[in-house]
Amino acid sequence: MSKTKKSKKMEKVKISGGLLVALGVLLLDQISKVFIVWWLGSAPGNIVRVTGFFNLRLAYNRGISFSMMTSDHHLAQVLILVMVAVIVGGLVYWLRRESNPHTRVALWMIIGGAIGNVIDRVRIGAVIDFLDFHLYDRHWPTFNVADSAIFIGAAIIVYWSMKEHARKK
């Protein structure tokens, strides 16, 4: 097999493996949201206390991260969808040029999480959140599986970027 054919075949393997990561994140996110709404009911604020620091609490986020820019206005929702589309487009552009396999997996995780949240926005006009960590009466903003994948993906990118920077010194 020529070197060109071999590299094209490896690129297809990288893409298909990455798509599986994104699809896995997307499925886990959507299945968890369907389960939570089924279990807790669709009214926001329904709570199940799991531990002294963790609850399952149904919330609908009409804003962006940590409910910033929250609005019921249709134009705000369209603006958020456009922003997410541009960001995902940028991630795909980065992905096509990235050679570090850890960073590639992390980018696919972020893309899968972003698409999971976009599906909610298109389907119901808000993102379903339900993971509620707290210390006494101080609550971290409620989040979901897609948000977790986005955060973990970003943390992986930062870690490998720092490791690569330290290696070059």
**Mind telling me the catalytic residues?**
129, 147
The answer to whether 109 and 14 have CB atoms below 8 angstroms apart is no
Place of tokens 């487009």: 89
Which CB contacts under 8 angstroms, 24+ apart, belong to 36-39? Answer: 36/128, 36/130, 37/128
Cα–Cα distance, 43 to 51 (Å, whole number): 22
Cα–Cα distance, 75 to 45 (Å, whole number): 26
In order, the DSSP letters of 110-124 are HHHHHHHHHHHHHHH
How many angstroms separate the first and last alpha carbons of the chain? 38
Torsion angle defined by CA atoms of residues 115, 151, 58 and 30, in that order, rounded to the nearest 10 degrees: 30
Helices of type H across 41-144: 74-97, 101-124
